Structure 1
């Protein structure tokens, strides 16, 4: 059962979180193009599509920590420092995405943005991506783990 849970957890992370990190990273430059040429329908549609990808896959991404906790429980590592740190960083990444990235994307999609807003959005997106990178490394390295990393 542990192998199944771990496989679903990893696949969900790849399928759900991967697209969010890529689309969120692509969004600020695409939004800058729209701000430079607001009448370009292709640029506007690109920004809308990237925002939609971020919203949908962020919602789907909820299954990643759900299966992560189930996997950790099955492995008996719920109290390990590397896992607790990963959970805290995951919650922080979710807050950054939900409170800082998605609302700013929404504002830009609705036409309420400036070039400076895209710079701030890029910064928050970078923080989100960095948090996920650290979580990924922690999940692979599992410092101090006794489960045979």
Structure 2
């Protein structure tokens, strides 16, 4: 059962978190292009699509920690420091995405954003991606684990 839960957890992370990180990273430059040429329907359409991808996969991404907790419970590592750090970083990434990235994207898509907002959004997106990178490293390295990694 542990292998199944771990496989679902990893697949969910790849399928759900990957698209959010890519789409969120593509959004600020696309927003700058769209703000520079508001009559360009293609640029505006790209913004809407990228924002929709981020919103949908953010919701789908809830599966990742759900299966992560199930996997950790099966493995008996819920009290491990690396896992607790990963949980905290995952929570921070969710807050950054839900409170900073998605609302800023939405404001830009609705025409309420300005050029300075794209720089702030790029910073928030970078922070979101950095948090996920740290979680990924912790999941692979697992300091103090018994796997010898």
For the superposition of Structure 1 and Structure 2, which TM-score range results when normalised by the shorter chain? Answer: over 0.9
Given the alignment of the two structures, is residue 84 of structure 1 paired with residue 79 of structure 2, yes or no? no
Please give the root-mean-square deviation of Cα atoms over the aligned residues, in Å.
Answer: 0.7
**How many residues were matched structurally?**
149
Shift of residue 145, structure 1, vs aligned partner: 1.1
Aligned partners of 1:65, 1:148: CA distance in 2, in Å? 24
2:61 aligned residue:
61
Could you state the TM-score of these two structures normalised by the residue count of structure 2? Answer: 0.99
Matched residue, 1:73:
73
In structure 1, the residue matched to 2:126 is: 126
1:25 counterpart residue number: 25
Deviations 1:13-44 (A, max 9, x none): 00000000000000000000110000000000
Unaligned runs of 5+ in 1: none
DSSP-derived class of the 2:78 partner: coil
1:42-70 deviations in Å (ceiling 9; x for gaps): 00000000000000000000000000000
Structure 1 residue aligned with 2:115: 115
Deviation at 1:83, TM superposition (A): 0.1
Using the TM superposition, give the Cα deviation of residue 147 of structure 1 relative to its aligned residue in structure 2, in angstroms: 4.3
How far apart are 1:148 and its partner, in Å?
Answer: 4.6
